[in-house]
Amino acid sequence: MEVHVNYLAVLVAALANYVIAAIWYGAIFSKLWVKLTGITEMKPVPLNIVLVLIGSFVLSYVLFHSITFGDAYFKMSGVQGGLMCGFFSWLGYIAPVTLCTKLYEKKPWGLWLLDNAFWLISLLAMGTILSLWM
């Protein structure tokens, strides 16, 4: 099966992930994030910004393929398919990995909840964008 990737959709979804993160951790929950992490000063380094954008692009690219797979094999197309892929990507990959990190690094539960709420919302948004542009 050949997958025809809509790279514009992948790019837009990756940028959406980045914008949601900036709003989530910057405008809405910056004080809570500082309290939970203990990091008092956050100055974005250009290299870090580039790396995060590359990571967002890779995440979006893989999510695109998950949606394509779901559509081809389970007939979950449209927004419903995008939302399901976003949700199950969060449930199967993000939540368990960050739970292990939380447990072994002894971070506060509030930080785990804050981060996982971000990832769930971001993956749902990305899945919606990608499914609409398939």
Q: How much is the pLDDT for 1? A: 63
Q: Give the pLDDT confidence of 78-125 residue by residue, as tens digits.
A: 899 899 999 999 999 999 999 998 999 989 999 999 999 999 999 999
Q: Give the pLDDT confidence of 44-84 residue by residue, as tens digits.
A: 889 999 999 999 999 999 999 999 888 777 777 789 989 99
- pTM, whole model, 2 decimals? 0.92
**DSSP of 75-133:** ---HHHHHHHHHHHHIIIIIHHHHHHHHHHHT--HHHHHHHHHHHHHHHHHHHHHHHHT
Q: How much is the pLDDT for 14? A: 98
